[in-house]
Structure 1
Amino acid sequence: MFKSLTSRYLNGCRGWTKIRRRDGTETIAGAISTLTRPQLLVLGRHDQDGRLRTVGRTVPLRPDAVRQPAERLTRAVLGHPWENVCFSAT
């Protein structure tokens, strides 16, 4: 938000300017449960040392929200960075 230090909010007046900022980064999404019915999604990002770290997760997916991510998921290959890592759905 950009505004004069002395200005105050006036309802219905456009005296302030809102700047939206978007930063992008490459991430990896994984699912907990099965490929066709994921319970929740986990988001990972490589750190400065190249290790894949968990940076977020969804809440448990509603049944009507499962189809779209399920269409894009593929089975992980042996040796993927999250092999033998346990995540909790709660």
Structure 2
Amino acid sequence: MDDDAEFKKLRWRCRRGMRELDQLLGRWLEAAWRQSPSAERAVFLRLLDCEDDTLWRWFLGHEVAADVEIDALIQRIRALPV
């Protein structure tokens, strides 16, 4: 699959039905996906597999992801400029 087709599919997967999550995930996708190493991309794909309510609790800081790689990525996403 070419990069543009994969990117479009990922953009669609970042649409969660909650505007705030859409913005957080989409912002990282636009800002970091193309230059990220494959390991970080794999963590992002695992993050996209998580349930929306869980993601929201993690992003708000009400809970911490048990997976340290996912938690580290969440912190980087939260730190991105708006």
Scaled by the length of structure 2, the TM-score of the pair is: 0.30
Give the number of the structure whose residues are more often strand, by fraction. Answer: 1
* Higher RCO structure (Cα 8 Å, ≥6 apart): 2
- Structure exhibiting the larger radius of gyration computed from Cα positions: 1
Scaled by the length of structure 1, the TM-score of the pair is: 0.28
Give the number of the structure whose residues are more often helix, by fraction. Answer: 2
